[in-house]
C-alpha cells in the first residue's frame, strides 16, 4: 500500500485521554529516590567526573570541565551524593575503601534494545536485511509475558554488569515488554526511559499494532509508569518506515499531551533506509522532516544515529534541543556510516553515546567510546577520553534534562556509580603502568577496557553488581 493510500485508509484518530490524577510528575523534579531514610555510605577511590563539556581541544590533565579528585571520599546519604572530601569521614560512617581504583558516575546508554541481546553479533547483513532476518524474529518471542519478564531482568542485570546504571531503551511492540522493563527497572531502582514500540506496518503481522491498540497501550503505560520511581515514558516510534502517517501523528499528539514524556526513534542511519523513507514520504523535505511535521522533535527527543543528516536537519534539531544518540559500534557493524559528531555539535545539537545493542556489538560503554574514537579517526578527528567520558555521563544527563539527577558527582545527584580497575589483564596492566599522564591512562582504559574492568555498580548508593 502506498503512503497516500494508507493515509486515506487510516481510521480517524481518537481523542487522547488526559491523565486524570492531577499534573504529571516530571522525573527529575522528585524527592530523593530512597526506601530507607538515613542510609549512609562513604566510598574511597579516585573520583573522576565532569562539570562541563571538555570540548575538542587537545586533552590535558587539567582540561576544562574535567574534575579529577584522586584518593577522595564520596559521601552518600539517602541514596544521594552528600559531598566529596579528601579526609576520611568520622567513625559513624560505614565505609568502603577502594583506594587505587577509579570511581565514575554510572554510564548512561541513550539507545539500546532490550530484546536484542539474542541477536547481538549476527553475521552478514546491513540494516534492513538485519531487521528482517534476525531482529524481527527475535522480537516476536516477546509476545509471551514470561519471555518479557525473563528478558527484562536479564537485560537490566547485564547493563549493571557493564557499569551502565541509566538507559533509554526500546522494548518491543508488545505492551507486556514495556511493562516488564518498567517493573524490572523499578525493582532495581534504575533510571530508565522507555515505551512500547509503535509500529503499524512493514513488519510481521504479529509484530505490528494498530492505531487503536497503540493509543490504548501507550496511555495505559504512561498513566501507570511515567514519573513512578525513576522511570519516564518515551513514545517509541521504531522508525519512519514502520509507522503510518496516522501513527506518527498519534505519537506527536501523545508527546504534546503528556508533559515530561520523551520521544525516541531512529533517523538517517543507512542510505538504503533513506531511499525507502523518501519513497514512503515523498512530500517530506528530509527523513527528519517526517518526524518534525508531526511534532515529534522536541527537547526530549532522542534520535539514534543521525549519520545522513544535512545542515538544515542539524539546525532543526538544535532549534528544538533534540539530541543524537551516536551509536558507533552499530554503525560500524552494520556498515551504516560515519557520524559527523563535530558538525552535529557545531550546529548546536547534543551528541550522547549509545551501544545500540544488538546492532551494536557490546553493552560496554568503554567499547562504545573506543568505537567512537575510531569513527572520528576515519573522519580525521580525534576524540579525547574526556570528551567521550563526558558524553557517556554528564553530557547524556544534560541532553536528557536530568543533570540534577544523574551523570556526575554533584551534591544532590543520585549515587549511581561504577567502580573500575584501571587494568584487568597483563596487556592493559603493562600499558597502564607506562602511562605518564592522566589522559594517557584514561585513554588506554577507554581503548582497552570493557566490562572485565568493572568491580562494582551502585544504584542510588546501593550495591547492584559486584564482580565475582
Ligand atoms: N531501525 C529500525 N529498527 C532498528 C533497530 O532495531 N536497530 C537499528 N540499529 N536500527 C533500526
Ligand atoms: Zn537502535
pLDDT at 38: 61
Report the nearest atom of ligand 1 relative to the CA of 239: 2
**Residue located via cell numbers 530508565:** 192
pLDDT at 113: 98
d(CA 414, CA 409): 8
Distance 131 CA to ligand 1 centre (A): 7
- The verdict on the CB of residue 390 being under 6 Å from ligand 1 is no
**Does ligand 1 lie within 6 Å of residue 131's CB atom?**
yes
How far apart are the C-alpha atoms of 111 and 359, rounded to whole Å? 11
CA of 332 to the centre of ligand 2 (A): 13
Does residue 113 have its Cβ closer than 6 Å to ligand 1? yes
CA-CA distance, 268 to 139, in Å (whole number)?
Answer: 22
Q: What is the pLDDT of residue 421?
A: 98
Grid cell digits, residue 441: 591512562
CA 356–ligand 1 middle distance (angstroms)? 8
C-alpha of residue 465 to centroid of ligand 1, in Å: 29
Q: Is the CB of 167 under 6 A from ligand 1?
A: no
pTM to 2 decimal places = 0.93
Question: Does the C-beta of 333 come closer than 6 Å to ligand 1?
Answer: no
Q: Which residues surround ligand 2, an ion (CB under 5 A)?
A: 304, 356
Residue-level pLDDT at 31:
37
Contacts of 453 (CB under 8 A, 6+ apart): 366, 420, 421, 422, 423, 424, 428, 445
For residue 2, what pLDDT is reported? 41
Whole-number pLDDT of residue 28: 40
| Rounded Cα distance, 357 and 336, in Å | 14
How high is the pLDDT of residue 15?
A: 53
d(CA 136, CA 8) in angstroms, rounded, equals: 27
Distance 230 CA to ligand 2 centre (A): 22
Residue whose Cα lies nearest atom 9 of ligand 1: it is 359
Q: Which atom from ligand 1 is nearest to the alpha carbon of 273?
A: 1
Q: Which atom of ligand 1 is nearest to the CA of 359?
A: 9
> Atom 3 of ligand 1 has which residue's CA nearest to it?
238
Q: Please, which residues have CB within 8 angstroms of residue 59's CB and are 6 or more apart in sequence? A: 384, 385, 386, 387, 439, 443
Cα-based distances in Å from 448 to 365, 406, 443, 451: 12, 26, 8, 11
Question: For strand 323-326 and strand 301-305, is the pairing parallel, antiparallel, or unpaired?
Answer: parallel
Tell whether omega for the bond before 358 is within 30 degrees of 0, i.e. cis. Answer: yes
pLDDT, averaged in runs of 10, over the chain (468 residues): 42 45 36 54 98 95 95 98 98 97 99 98 97 98 98 98 98 98 98 98 98 98 98 98 98 98 98 98 98 98 98 98 98 98 98 98 99 98 98 98 98 98 97 98 98 98 96
Q: Is 230 in the pocket of ligand 1 (CB under 6 A)?
A: no
Query: Residue 316: helix, strand or coil by DSSP?
Result: helix
What is the whole-number distance in angstroms between the Cα of residue 63 and the centre of ligand 1?
A: 36
In 3-state terms the chain splits into helix, strand, coil percentages (rounded to 5) of 40, 20, 40
CA of 208 to the centre of ligand 2 (A): 17
Amino acid at each position: 500500500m502506498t503512503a497516500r493510500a494508507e493515509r486515506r485508509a487510516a481510521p480517524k484518530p481518537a481523542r487522547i485521554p488526559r491523565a486524570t490524577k492531577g499534573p504529571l510528575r516530571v522525573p527529575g523534579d522528585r524527592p530523593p529516590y530512597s526506601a530507607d531514610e538515613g542510609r549512609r555510605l562513604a566510598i574511597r577511590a579516585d573520583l573522576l567526573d565532569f562539570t562541563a563539556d571538555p570540548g575538542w581541544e587537545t586533552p590535558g590533565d587539567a582540561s576544562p570541565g574535567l574534575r579529577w579528585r584522586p584518593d577522595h571520599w564520596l559521601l552518600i546519604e539517602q541514596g544521594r551524593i552528600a559531598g566529596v572530601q579528601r579526609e576520611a569521614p568520622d567513625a559513624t560512617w560505614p565505609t568502603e575503601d577502594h583506594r587505587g581504583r577509579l570511581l565514575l558516575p554510572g554510564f548512561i546508554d541513550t539507545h539500546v534494545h532490550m530484546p536484542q541481546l539474542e541477536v547481538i553479533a549476527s553475521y552478514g547483513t546491513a540494516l534492513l536485511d538485519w531487521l528482517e532476518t534476525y531482529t524481527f524474529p527475535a522480537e516476536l518471542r516477546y509476545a509471551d509475558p514470561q519471555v518479557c519478564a525473563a528478558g527484562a531482568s536479564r537485560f537490566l542485570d547485564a547493563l549493571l554488569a557493564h557499569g551502565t546504571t541509566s538507559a533509554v531503551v526500546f522494548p518491543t511492540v508488545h505492551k507486556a515488554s514495556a511493562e516488564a522493563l518498567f517493573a524490572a527497572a523499578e525493582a532495581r531502582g534504575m533510571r530508565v526511559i522507555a515505551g512500547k514500540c509503535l509500529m503499524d506496518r512493514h513488519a510481521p503481522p504479529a509484530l505490528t499494532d494498530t492505531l487503536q491498540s497503540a493509543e490504548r497501550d501507550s496511555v495505559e503505560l504512561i498513566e501507570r509508569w511515567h514519573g513512578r520511581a525513576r522511570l519516564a515514558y518515551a513514545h517509541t516510534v521504531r522508525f519512519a518506515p514502520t509507522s503510518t502517517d496516522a501513527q506518527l501523528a498519534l505519537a506527536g499528539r501523545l508527546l504534546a499531551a503528556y508533559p515530561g514524556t520523551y520521544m525516541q526513534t531512529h533517523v538517517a542511519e543507512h542510505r538504503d533506509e533513506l531511499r525507502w523513507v523518501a519513497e514512503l514520504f515523498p512530500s517530506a523535505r528530509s527523513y527528519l522532516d517526517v518526524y518534525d511535521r508531526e511534532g515529534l522533535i522536541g527537547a526530549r527527543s532522542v534520535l539514534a544515529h543521525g549519520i545522513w543528516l544535512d545542515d538544515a536537519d542539524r539546525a532543526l534539531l538544535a532549534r528544538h534541543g533534540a539530541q543524537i544518540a551516536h551509536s558507533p559500534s552499530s554503525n560500524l557493524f552494520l556498515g551504516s556510516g560515519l557520524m559527523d559528531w563535530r558538525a552535529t555539535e557545531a550546529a548546536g545539537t547534543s551528541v550522547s553515546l549509545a551501544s545500540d545493542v544488538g546492532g551494536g556489538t557490546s553493552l560496554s560503554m568503554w567499547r562504545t567510546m573506543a568505537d567512537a574514537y575510531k569513527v572520528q579517526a576515519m573522519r580525521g578527528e580525534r576524540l579525547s577520553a574526556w570528551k567521550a567520558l563526558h558524553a557517556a555521563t554528564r553530557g547524556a544527563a544534560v541532553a536528557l534534562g536530568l543533570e540534577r539527577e544523574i551523570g556526575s558527582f554533584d551534591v544532590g545527584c543520585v549515587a549511581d556509580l561504577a567502580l573500575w580497575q584501571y587494568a584487568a589483564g597483563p596487556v592493559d596492566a603493562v600499558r597502564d603502568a607506562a602511562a605518564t599522564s592522566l589522559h594517557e591512562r584514561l585513554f588506554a582504559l577507554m581503548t582497552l577496557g570493557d566490562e572485565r574492568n568493572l568491580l562494582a555498580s551502585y544504584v542510588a548508593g546501593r550495591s547492584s553488581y559486584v564482580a565475582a
